[in-house]
């Protein structure tokens, strides 16, 4: 069964928000396609980005994954099949994603989605190379 959920963009986004003052376009649409484990995010400048749940999980902006600086980033293996089980607006600036591995501490700002949408391919290749260098896999243990 394929389900698609559309999430309303929180009201209150206006031209005076810090995000838009920084020259970033507002988010206009968020959809999660559960059968494909893909989150789609659209912006007012026409840019649309599709993120796999796996990418969102392994690149989570949480301190648990990112640490407190670039040298502290944690490599998260074994998330090939992870899905999103909850999406919650946080104020007018971010979403909290809840994953089926119970990770839910990252706040994904509109700026995060926009910036990571542009650099997604390079980030993904870097992730795959780091897994390979450590002899780790995208597959969960035992699969």
The strand pairing partners of 84, in sequence order, are 99
How does the average pLDDT of the chain come out, rounded? 86
Model pTM score? 0.83
Q: Note whether residue 85 is domain-resident.
A: yes
- What percent helix, strand, coil does the chain show, rounded to 5? 30, 25, 45
Q: In this predicted structure, what is the pLDDT of residue 15?
A: 37
Element (H, E) at 127: helix 110-133
**Cα–Cα separations (whole angstroms), residue 100 to 24, 37, 48, 123, 136:** 31, 11, 25, 22, 21
Phi, psi dihedral angles at 38 (to 5 degrees): -130, 135
Give the C-alpha separation, 132 to 135, whole Å: 5
Give the C-alpha separation, 1 to 22, whole Å: 41
Number of domains in the chain: 1
Q: Is the pLDDT of residue 108 over 70?
A: yes
Q: Is the pLDDT of residue 134 over 90?
A: yes
Residue 34 belongs to domain with CATH number = 3.30.2020.30
Residues in contact with 139: Cβ distance below 8 Å, sequence separation at least 6, in sequence order = 78, 80
Q: Note whether residue 142 is domain-resident.
A: no
Residues of the domain holding 80: 4-133
Q: Note whether residue 113 is domain-resident.
A: yes
Q: Note whether residue 58 is domain-resident.
A: yes
- Average pLDDT for residues 17-36, to the nearest whole number? 81
Query: Which of 7-16, 61-70, 86-95 has maximum average pLDDT?
Result: 86-95
Q: Note whether residue 139 is domain-resident.
A: no
Give the C-alpha separation, 8 to 89, whole Å: 9
Q: Note whether residue 143 is domain-resident.
A: no
Q: Note whether residue 124 is domain-resident.
A: yes
Q: In this predicted structure, what is the pLDDT of residue 71?
A: 77
Give the C-alpha separation, 120 to 99, whole Å: 19
Q: In this predicted structure, what is the pLDDT of residue 141?
A: 83
């Amino acid at each position: 069964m394929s389900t698609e959920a559309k999430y309303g963009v929180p009201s209150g986004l206006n031209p005076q928000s810090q995000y838009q003052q920084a020259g970033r376009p507002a988010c206009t649409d968020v959809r999660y396609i559960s059968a494909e484990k893909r989150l789609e995010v659209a912006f007012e400048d026409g840019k649309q980005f599709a993120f796999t749940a796996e990418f969102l999980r392994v690149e989570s902006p949480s301190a648990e994954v990112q640490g407190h600086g670039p040298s502290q980033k944690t490599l998260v293996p074994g998330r090939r099949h992870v899905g999103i089980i909850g999406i919650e607006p946080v104020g007018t600036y971010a979403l909290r994603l809840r994953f089926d591995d119970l990770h839910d501490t990252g706040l994904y700002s509109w700026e995060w989605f926009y910036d990571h949408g542009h650099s997604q391919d390079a980030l993904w290749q870097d992730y795959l190379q780091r897994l390979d260098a450590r002899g780790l896999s995208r597959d969960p243990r035992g699969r």
